[in-house]
Amino acid sequence: MRLALMGCLVGTVAMPLTAMAEDSEWYINPSLGYAIYDSERDTDQNMRDEGGIFAVGVERRTGNWGIELNGSRGDVHTAVGDDEVDIDRVSVDAIRYFTEDGVQPYSSLGVGHTSIDGKTANSGGTHGNLGLGVLIPLNERLAVRTGVKYIYDFDGEYDDGQATVGFSWKVGGGTKGSTEAAPEVVEPVAGDSDRDGVADSADQCPGTPYRVAVDANGCPLDQDGDGVPNYRDRCPETAPGTKVDHRGCKQADVSTQKEELLVHFALNSAVVMPSYRSDFMRMADFLKEHSGVSAVIEGHADHTGTLDYNQALSVRRAESVKAILVKKYGIDANRLRTIGYGETRPVASNDNAAGRQANRRAVAVVRIKSSN
């Protein structure tokens, strides 16, 4: 029976490994806590039933799944003589996060090893653990992490428990894959404010996003000559002479009138700043004038954070723009559709602050057919 239960635990812990894709990210999870030990443990130390613990884990996370290697040490004293007893545990835990945004409840299931004062016989051995907790993000890299665990010792049939509180810290920038070739690193020159390799005095396109390929005049390359630079061109092989939209794709001939609403957001935010009031008024007036027209509001994010988090954030940004048009300007909600593209459609490089700011946006473009 014990072997079957251990086998189920190992199998469950191993399952999320198959879901670990290239867009996984690494976290370090230190914590402090308190443990309660089974009063029937048969140890020669006659240790107390409770004491403080310190734990640290290294976690690889992809979307809603995480795998954590966790180690802890308990600081317990004996009932007689008040001598210190060390309880060491190491485990591998599978973690399931139930939400992708904001406060994230989670559960964990793991298997590991326990030793007391370096010994296993009559005191420790193989254990399984089941946990529940909550992750509370503070910013894009740091979160508060709290949790409780039930720990079952298979060898001695003991029941232990622990509660911890600590932090989860994202290290590095993740391992998100990219289908684009790495941009060529341009050697800086004196008086080159946008760092594109062309001095300001000769730069005809100042303010080019960092690491965007430019020509001798400092302007972004445009391989199909449609007026939309390569780094923003979603249709890079448009035929010569084709009329294109802001994405570099063929423009429908029936569109003669256009209104665009573009809103940028602060980092990790879906709050619309008051400075966009006039832009909303213009879009609302346009929609009211053309009552039969619907609009699609697209939300976007930079590459800060996980793919899943940025996807959810982009949806919230689009919904924020829709809510203002509906609640403050009386636009029928059925005329507005929202969609989030996450970080998949940048309009600028994510390698610098200006580019990331440009990518944190929501945009609505409405076109009206010709009345001729």
- What is residue 254's predicted lDDT score, i.e. its pLDDT? 46
Q: Is residue 108 predicted with pLDDT exceeding 50?
A: yes
The string of pLDDT tens digits covering residues 332-363 is 999 999 999 999 999 999 889 888 999 999 99
Question: Tokens for 250?
Answer: 């063929």
Q: Is residue 136 predicted with pLDDT exceeding 70?
A: yes
Superfamily, domain 252-369: OmpA-like domain (3.30.1330.60)
Do residues 127 and 150 touch, judged by C-beta distance below 8 A? no
2-171 to CATH, choices 3.30.1360.120, 3.90.79.10, 2.40.160.20, 3.30.230.10:
2.40.160.20
Q: Confidence class of residue 106 from pLDDT cuts 50, 70 and 90? A: very high
Q: Is residue 22 predicted with pLDDT exceeding 50?
A: no
- What is residue 242's predicted lDDT score, i.e. its pLDDT? 80
Domain ranges of the chain: 2-171, 252-369
The string of pLDDT tens digits covering residues 148-169 is 999 988 877 888 899 999 999 9
Q: Is residue 181 predicted with pLDDT exceeding 50?
A: no
- What is residue 4's predicted lDDT score, i.e. its pLDDT? 46
Cα→Cα distances 39→8, 79, 160, 308, Å: 27, 12, 9, 44
- What is residue 20's predicted lDDT score, i.e. its pLDDT? 47
The pLDDT mean for the chain works out to 80
Q: Is residue 54 predicted with pLDDT exceeding 80?
A: yes
Residue 191 backbone class (left: φ over 0; alpha: ψ -120 to 50; beta: rest): left
Question: Tokens for 174?
Answer: 């993740």
Do residues 21 and 40 touch, judged by C-beta distance below 8 A? no
